[in-house]
Structure 1
């Protein structure tokens, strides 16, 4: 093809840079396109994103990576969802499971059937019908069978907790084996042509790089997309006030649990992410309500186990570039935007951005409509995740600190406000194709925050209440039976994929 790309240069290593090189080396195999990664030895990666969502499994499969080798090399553990402590009110907790909750009954969304059962006097929790939630409660795990024998085995999903630095090392080695060119250098200058396309890069070792396309993985500074191309930044701090995080790693004092814990604090929330060999911990907070020193004290008083590194503070601005793809440059990872890691979506957004890019893969004509279509789709992904994170704050019943009182009257996008309004009427949520968070995910947060609709769907009254009760009881018993036959999460890791 006359105008086909012949080369792509990834600027910056880290998780995002090596994910890009790995996925592209798989997707572009046989195309003749040369992939290079410029990785500076002087710049440390942020490496905070250690908790993932189930799309990490899609990435591993798409890249033809051996799952066992990946888990062992990255000291990964399995993740069935997120436990939220003290979010609705202090002392209370709820769970956001991956996978399905219940199974639809006679064409009706399961949540509606459950609402009907509650109105009829059932005291069963909604999460009693979630295989993933029950597995997490009992700390049991097994990989979902390739050919599930029943709806329970088909109903749960999982992600991974992993060591970001080890992920970058693993993917780097894999890329080198696949013919990706690694250049150890720092970019001193980005050279633009008369169209504001990137013409080349000047390196600190005196070398130059000229490529057809560039992927900016230079972190928050956005060396290419912002400092050179000046695409601008869409600041969402008005919606999400947390703007700093303090992080630290600790030695495990117990076997890793198969879920992340997010605990609401006075001015934000802390995370605990258990890997096989250690735990990652952090406190995401709003600086207008909390000093760095107080945040550090809060985090260190909440962690267990010996500290393995010095705590560090990471400032950030919630939002995204106004254009993730501009001319011959794609921004990836922190260079593209940042949404606080409350739902562990950072690595997902790297993968999703790359998937959109491959679908809209350019030639050297760089069609403007193609670029606009890509930006529209990735903008929708960022906004969807932003809205889902906002949901955690604006529905909380906490009023015990200045931060949580601010959340009581926080600005909420119309997209979130309308979704909550419709839900409260009779528990219905519209799910559009391409959205990452399912209706079950929204139900998990709303139910956890004690947001219950006023009514259920009127046609549910045509159901025989006794028959519905029997069906739901059988479903709960089937979940319990399946889960009780699973090994513990710790035993499964040790038997199948212990860290190297």
Structure 2
């Protein structure tokens, strides 16, 4: 394909995706690469992805980012999971936490023992045996060397991009201000050779990273990599977003509240709350969505509501010729499970593993594209699960979601769990067994049976074990400080509004 060595990397577009790629590449490879990022202050960013999942902490450790400093700079709070409300039924609520359900054995997962306990008349929820879930319900948080806790963050995405920009520039990134007017390609190979700005400045490179958002200026408008539309499985195509005042202590939970034509998010930061209403334009107009969102918020708006449009799906070739798409230009899955920023981090980490120092080859691009496809498809299935596994029939939207065909891969997972209580984490998959179990049970998919190993424990022994485990969780949570108090002590931002 491209035989020349890769020494100049050009990132088209800033925002979270662009500066995240810049931060990782400059920190890891900045001494041997010349890296340039092009962005324009005139082009706004989407900036709604303010909730994350735990692997972000591994990524930050890779970059040696100081946690309190990052949290102060982005007005961040801690996140222990997501509260799903009105999903399986109206007035239902369950928490998808980042914690482990009880203690698994080598033969089967803990939820099998919990299912058996129900036959013994023990009244409990699976979440009673999850430390992070109970801490989230109690609005508690603490970091301790003696107790491992699995957590992520809520943060201001705009400030996060600025934080990453400063980090990248300290590591040698060159930023060029301007809009891209033209993409120059090699006449024979079609590989991108340079980007021409409106100022007539020419930025040449060997490898190009497209972070231009949904439009995919390089990957789609120039290279025509193709797009696989998933809207028949994920029908929401719009969102209304607004920021509001923080009217109470921040909780360590993202809220995802289902409504008649989609769902609403609530993300608490130190200085404000991020709110949004995700919806299907087939069932709700933009004006009605704004009105519904403003009627549901619990603080005064500090921004005007804006409408965002999107098409759920993935780029068919994320790496095409010498261009790699990251962020929204690579595809989009709505932020129901807070996966957007994680997918960006995985994309740049995968590039570090497969970096084409000796030139772009088909073996590298095939490996990259296949891994990206598998990861996106498995993430898609997990999000589709929330919509399809519902008992709601109170609106046309939910009836359509309940009755729609779903991917065969998801049908297989649901049948395995319903028939055998078996859940698994596949290769290259974000979500663990505990996540699949919490969500399937939360969506009222109850297994017909459980693993026979759960019957090998005597009734009294199992009863005592579960009682002791539950008591340990309760006592540990009781000793923890309130989440907001811990944030104030550990990483209080200059613009924090809660003492």
Distance 1:112 1:423 in 2: 11
Aligned match of 2:69: 69
1:479 aligns with 2:443: no
Equivalent residue, structure 2, for 1:138? 138
Kindly state the Cα deviation for residue 170 of structure 1 after the two structures are TM-superposed.
1.0
Match 2:175 to one of 172, 182, 200: 182
**Aligned position for 1:16:** 17
After the TM superposition, which segments of 4 or more aligned residues of structure 1 sit over 4 Å from their partners? none
Is residue 374–residue 428 contact of structure 2 (8 Å, CA) maintained in 1? no
5 Å-filtered alignment, 1:446-465, equals 446-465=440-459
Deviations 1:434-472 (A, max 9, x none): 311011101111111111100111232221111011111
Matches within 5 A, 1:258-273: 258-273=252-267
CA distance in 2, matches of 1:278, 1:33: 39
Contact 1:112–1:457 (CA under 8 A) maintained in structure 2 = yes
Say which of 146, 155, 161 aligns to 1:168. Answer: 161
- Aligned to 1:41, the other structure's residue is in SS state coil
Could you tell me how far apart the structure 2 residues matched to 1:83 and 1:258 are?
10
Is residue 2:273 matched to residue 1:279? yes
Matches within 5 A, 1:333-348: 333-348=327-342
C-alpha separation in 1, matches of 2:239 and 2:144? 34
Alignment of 1:372-451 (within 5 A): 372-451=366-445
Is the contact between residue 74 and residue 155 of structure 2 (CA under 8 Å) also seen in structure 1?
yes
Contact preservation (8 Å) 2:318, 2:330? yes
Kept in 2, the 8 Å contact 1:260–1:272? The answer is yes
2:293 counterpart (299, 313, 316): 299
* Equivalent position of 1:467 in the other structure: 461
Give matches, 1:188-267, under 5 Å. 188-193=181-186, 194-267=188-261
Post-superposition offset of 1:133: 0.5
Q: Deviations over 1:95-117 (max 9, x none)?
A: 00002111114643111111111
Gaps of 5+ in 2: 495-499
* Residue 191 to residue 106, structure 1, CA distance change in 2 (3 Å): closer
Structure 2 residue 97 is matched with structure 1 residue 97 = yes
TM-aligned CA distance change 1:353 to 1:56, over 3 Å:
same
Identify the match of residue 310 of structure 2 among 292, 297, 316: 316
User: In the aligned structure 1, how far is the partner of 2:376 from the partner of 2:346?
Assistant: 10
Contact map agreement 2:196 2:202 (CA 8 A) in 1:
yes
CA distance in 2, matches of 1:418, 1:59: 32
On the 8 A contact 1:212/1:364 being kept in 2, the answer is no
Deviations 1:199-224 (A, max 9, x none): 11111111101111010000000000
Contact between 2:240 and 2:308, CA under 8 Å: does it hold in 1? Answer: yes
Cα distance between partner residues in 2 of 1:130 and 1:424: 22
Secondary structure of the corresponding residue to residue 135 of structure 1: helix
| Cα distance in 1 for residues equivalent to 2:251 and 2:63 | 27
Indicate conservation of the 8 Å contact 1:144/1:157, yes or no. no
Does the CA contact (< 8 Å) of 1:333 and 1:346 recur in 2? yes
Aligned twin of 1:42:
42
Partner of 2:83: 83
The CA distance in 2 between the partners of 1:179 and 1:431, in whole Å, is: 39
| 2: CA distance, partners of 1:355 / 1:177 | 20
Aligned-partner Cα distance in 1 for 2:18–2:425: 32
Bigger drift between 13-22 and 429-438 goes to 429-438
Tell me the SS of whatever aligns to 1:108.
coil
Partner Cα separation in structure 1 for residue 341 and residue 360 of structure 2? 27
| TM-score normalized with structure 1 length | 0.96
Measure, in 1, the Cα distance between the counterparts of 2:397 and 2:290: 17
Distance 1:144 1:436 in 2: 25
Secondary structure in structure 1 of the residue aligned to 2:252: coil
Cα distance in 1, alignment partners of residues 441 and 41 from structure 2: 47
Distance 1:368 1:462, change over 3 A: same
SS of the residue aligned with 2:20?
A: helix
Residue aligned with 2:195, SS = strand
C-alpha distance after superposition, 1:199-257 (max 9, x if no partner): 11111111101111010000000000000001011000011100000000001000110
SS at match of 2:113: helix
In structure 1, the gaps of 5 or more residues are: none
What is the DSSP-based 3-state SS (H/G/I as helix, E as strand, rest coil) of the residue aligned with 2:205? coil
Three-state SS of the structure 2 residue aligned to 1:9 is: strand
Provide the rounded CA distance (Å) in 2 between the counterparts of 1:228 and 1:463.
62
SS in 2 for 1:160: strand
